[in-house]
Structure 1
């Protein structure tokens, strides 16, 4: 703890100083890559010079006749932390505009402007050991910052802020979310910006310089001893930066001051059903202001913004779920909401108008779009995903469709590393060719319940550079995701298997009755994961996840047959060849989903019971045995308790639905895929689900805060192991989730 004490004391024991001639410290040599310039190896209490450790810096506030400074430490590309007491002492009339931060990597460079600041929740006026977080206007790039370990061998021992790391991380993740401060029973303060760190507490003078609007309403009711209720609706819009919105209620008559003060309460509301209402990434967020009073009340609201700006929504969208804050304050003119070319150059007005016309079955002209929200961080590694509304005009009548728009990553390194173009091509082929072909075959039959467990394609384009796929948003039909970190229950698992059985039955029947047509459809999809050409792409990462699986079993089932089995089984190159063989077996093939984990099923609920489901994300679809989908459901979606109680029952249930549907489609399941064949393939290929779960389980149990960051520098292809830097699972629950998959396969004789 001596090292932590030294550096943190440099920050906490900030100082007020008069600097006669300059707002920056004395000139210092430019350090290279954050190298340790100190000759000492043991750091004792005392002063640390900022030019020695380039993540150290100084914050300056200058007036006409005085200059103030305090020490800060860089902890993220746009975030420094410093003494809350020192920051609180500085004048707040123009604090943001006058303050600059200089970091020791190059003390001669101009200071960096700051965007906002926020105090640690434990800070008070008498505190000498609380921090403030300061958000910089632009990135400061240094390979020597010591948050998760500095670069170029710079010693991480100089910055260990474990006690505050969670606070800093949460501040970055919560950018864009409203904050509510209850100042008293009759006063509430709301803040909401898309680009600034969250702030709480009273408004400072700089926050209230520019007024957006005010409103004042008085209510008089009949005299009563009971509290009465009034309500007022208030909406915040994403195209404004609300630095401070003050809601205040007080007595209408002065004589009432001595009586009970009115009470004010702020509630979030929206028209949609849960859990959509929990999202904070909509273009507008609606609040209901509830006021409780006796005889009379005056309600006053004053909204302020440091600047009224339209936000560059593309940049907001691209970073809304990333740990890196949203720094660009580019003014976006209204015309930018009338085009989608900044998302993909293939999204021309003509193409969108054509898609709208086909959707509404009448001539339509695209007019504008509206941003609705984004998916959670960690929900899509291969693409950039947003939710928008697309508007069109038909003879003066405006219509719109809400869609999920998936675009190929603009970051070239990310696109090449994850081979995004292949996955986009595969999924687009599925929606444009395979699914229509299967549904056309089904439509020729008299089916009681046609397969409708899919989302509708609105628009798609693929050229390997500007790929985009646009699907209608089924959240409007109250479909939502299950929590991916939790194993699904019996009802969810039963519904997933039923849906897969109905989907697989289309391939079985079509291959039986129209084999040439089925072969043409199957040619549209190709293997995107397990193929000899991809071994070098996957090799290092496959070795990593095999090691994580072994570690989990060793820790949870030490000195057992399971440890012996997993060590013999988890041999990367041999098992990868087995995965290739499984995907190439076409004897009983269907066009499978390929990635049947929890996140790729959306559910509709009635009293918390799933009543319908949709399958999404066909980027990994392949032509192979249906068992590859079935076994992965059990490895990726379920936990050991459910498998112990219901595995055999659920396995039989899948086949019952499959055989019924094949029969209804006009084929004989006993001839084309008998129960014995099904059970033989289950035993033969269940290892596939186990191996695939080596990758999926560590991903599934990641919390949203820990999900892999997709920021990649450069324009060259990298090894995926450089980014999917998974480590042995830290929690017992997580290790059991991994190890019990092995236990299940060993007990069933699958490995």
Structure 2
């Protein structure tokens, strides 16, 4: 990281923390691993200062949008940066106010945000660094067990409940949310995303050659033909009555877990909201379950969906809204069936990303404008091909048997 970037980071942090009367600020830049920031730069900073005569220490994560270029404009990444800034600076405070009005717990499954910057095509979010508090990403090669799945589903249920309650009680405010979350289906990003899904489906189909399961390969080929149209309908919410602000990127690396002394997860935080968009809550739920489970966990699908809906209903009632009015159980079940096929398509990309070999070090996300897909992130082939196939085949067999594809 160059001196110019460090200087800019110090300026942003001073602007934010001095407004909170934190003075005599000092900064250190620890050498944390910040790999994987393909769509944004991640910078860790430890800072200290004096507030009301008391010394304060902060460990923060600065999330900085890539330098704006024609390629980034073409990809529409500015939309994603603006979306995430809006979520932390406006949506979360609105939900916090709603919780205070109803005297209930706010949405807590998200990093604390100290402040945001959006000016001169700069998009900056200053978040609490959760690494020192013991939060970490789940092992990318292992499916989430039921404990992990339930924690995330409860978090999504609470997020969706705040959306539905606001939409129910303050519809004018809700409709102002997501100003940056519309129109993704018209962007080059959408075309590249669809191309990537189609190529990953082809990649999986190749694995089925000589494995005596032609029925699954044929199901995948039929799904490939539908991906573009079904994705477009999902993003424009065609015929979707129950839409909310979605997370939109529900794969392994976007959840940080804290573990107790028995190494069981007891808290989860959802990160990376730049793919946020308006849509069905079950588009997130189906995506998360199919991306992060194996066949073993999917055998508990009915239990997991019921847990999600019960959590959603409890929070809606706490917030003063009627679950049957906002999002009936029957609508929840139907929505899972509707969005499961898209989740299956995305699962081919998510699991490939989990089993990828080392990504080309020189990979730049802007290369996708020229290549027409994001496959450069995935490198060549997969590690542990048989384990990769067993994982993906188990999910596909389950989905075929259930009639999702």
Same fold (TM over 0.5): yes
Question: Is the CA contact 1:569–1:575 (under 8 Å) kept in the aligned structure 2?
Answer: yes
Question: Is the CA contact 1:417–1:719 (under 8 Å) kept in the aligned structure 2?
Answer: no
Query: In structure 1, what is the Cα distance between the partners aligned to 2:236 and 2:293?
Result: 26
Query: In structure 1, what is the Cα distance between the partners aligned to 2:296 and 2:264?
Result: 19
1:541 aligned partner: 196
Closer/same/farther in 2, CA of residues 466 and 511 from structure 1, 3 Å limit = closer
Closer/same/farther in 2, CA of residues 691 and 463 from structure 1, 3 Å limit = farther
Query: In structure 2, what is the Cα distance between the partners aligned to 1:728 and 1:363?
Result: 50
Whether 1:357 aligns to 2:18 is yes
Query: In structure 1, what is the Cα distance between the partners aligned to 2:195 and 2:346?
Result: 15
Of 575, 578, 581, the match for 2:230 = 578
Query: In structure 2, what is the Cα distance between the partners aligned to 1:399 and 1:510?
Result: 35
**RMSD, aligned α-carbons:** 2.8
Secondary structure (helix, strand or coil) at the match of 2:162 reads: helix
The residue correspondences of 1:170-569 to structure 2 (distance < 5 A) are 314=1, 341-343=4-6, 345=8, 347=9, 349=11, 351-358=12-19, 361-366=20-25, 368-375=26-33, 377=35, 379-394=36-51, 398-410=55-67, 415=72, 419-447=76-104, 449-463=105-119, 465-526=121-182, 528=184, 530-531=185-186, 534-538=189-193, 540-554=195-209, 557-569=211-223
Q: How many residues get paired? A: 400
The residue correspondences of 1:45-64 to structure 2 (distance < 5 A) are none
Whether 1:723 aligns to 2:376 is yes
Question: Is the CA contact 1:428–1:469 (under 8 Å) kept in the aligned structure 2?
Answer: yes
Of 297, 303, 311, the match for 1:657 = 311
Query: In structure 2, what is the Cα distance between the partners aligned to 1:558 and 1:507?
Result: 46
Query: In structure 2, what is the Cα distance between the partners aligned to 1:732 and 1:478?
Result: 33
Query: In structure 2, what is the Cα distance between the partners aligned to 1:480 and 1:600?
Result: 10
Query: In structure 1, what is the Cα distance between the partners aligned to 2:46 and 2:369?
Result: 34
Whether 1:670 aligns to 2:324 is yes
Closer/same/farther in 2, CA of residues 554 and 462 from structure 1, 3 Å limit = farther
Q: What is the deviation of 1:716?
A: 11
1:635 aligned partner: 290
1:736 aligned partner: 390
Question: Is the CA contact 1:485–1:701 (under 8 Å) kept in the aligned structure 2?
Answer: yes
Of 582, 585, 596, the match for 2:250 = 596
Q: Which runs of 5+ in 1 are unaligned?
A: 1-313, 316-335
Question: Is the CA contact 1:453–1:615 (under 8 Å) kept in the aligned structure 2?
Answer: yes
Secondary structure (helix, strand or coil) at the match of 1:372 reads: coil
Query: In structure 2, what is the Cα distance between the partners aligned to 1:511 and 1:701?
Result: 40
Per the normalisation by structure 2, the TM-score is 0.89
Query: In structure 2, what is the Cα distance between the partners aligned to 1:697 and 1:452?
Result: 28
Secondary structure (helix, strand or coil) at the match of 1:718 reads: helix
Closer/same/farther in 2, CA of residues 593 and 411 from structure 1, 3 Å limit = closer
Question: Is the CA contact 1:353–1:392 (under 8 Å) kept in the aligned structure 2?
Answer: no
Closer/same/farther in 2, CA of residues 441 and 618 from structure 1, 3 Å limit = same
Q: What is the deviation of 1:718?
A: 3.0
**What are the Cα deviations for residues 648-694 of structure 1, in whole angstroms up to 9, with x where unaligned?**
11111111111111111111111221111111111111112112222
Query: In structure 2, what is the Cα distance between the partners aligned to 1:609 and 1:749?
Result: 34
Query: In structure 2, what is the Cα distance between the partners aligned to 1:600 and 1:713?
Result: 18
Question: Is the CA contact 1:414–1:710 (under 8 Å) kept in the aligned structure 2?
Answer: no
Question: Is the CA contact 2:165–2:321 (under 8 Å) kept in the aligned structure 1?
Answer: yes
Per the normalisation by structure 1, the TM-score is 0.50
Q: What is the deviation of 1:348?
A: 5.7
Q: What is the deviation of 1:397?
A: 5.9
Q: What is the deviation of 1:501?
A: 0.5
Query: In structure 2, what is the Cα distance between the partners aligned to 1:599 and 1:610?
Result: 15
Query: In structure 2, what is the Cα distance between the partners aligned to 1:715 and 1:487?
Result: 30
Query: In structure 2, what is the Cα distance between the partners aligned to 1:714 and 1:489?
Result: 35
Question: Is the CA contact 1:598–1:637 (under 8 Å) kept in the aligned structure 2?
Answer: yes
Closer/same/farther in 2, CA of residues 726 and 747 from structure 1, 3 Å limit = farther
Q: What is the deviation of 1:370?
A: 0.9
**What are the Cα deviations for residues 198-223 of structure 1, in whole angstroms up to 9, with x where unaligned?**
xxxxxxxxxxxxxxxxxxxxxxxxxx
Question: Is the CA contact 1:541–1:724 (under 8 Å) kept in the aligned structure 2?
Answer: no
Closer/same/farther in 2, CA of residues 612 and 348 from structure 1, 3 Å limit = closer
Q: Which has the higher helix share?
A: 2
Q: Which runs of 5+ in 2 are unaligned?
A: none
Query: In structure 2, what is the Cα distance between the partners aligned to 1:374 and 1:738?
Result: 32
Secondary structure (helix, strand or coil) at the match of 1:426 reads: helix
2:339 aligned partner: 685
Closer/same/farther in 2, CA of residues 712 and 750 from structure 1, 3 Å limit = closer
Q: What is the deviation of 1:634?
A: 1.4
Q: Considering Cα pairs closer than 8 Å and 6+ residues apart, tell me whether 1 or 2 has the greater RCO.
A: 2
The residue correspondences of 1:100-139 to structure 2 (distance < 5 A) are none
Closer/same/farther in 2, CA of residues 626 and 710 from structure 1, 3 Å limit = farther
Q: What is the deviation of 1:514?
A: 1.0
Bigger-Rg structure (1/2): 1
**What are the Cα deviations for residues 141-175 of structure 1, in whole angstroms up to 9, with x where unaligned?**
xxxxxxxxxxxxxxxxxxxxxxxxxxxxxxxxxxx
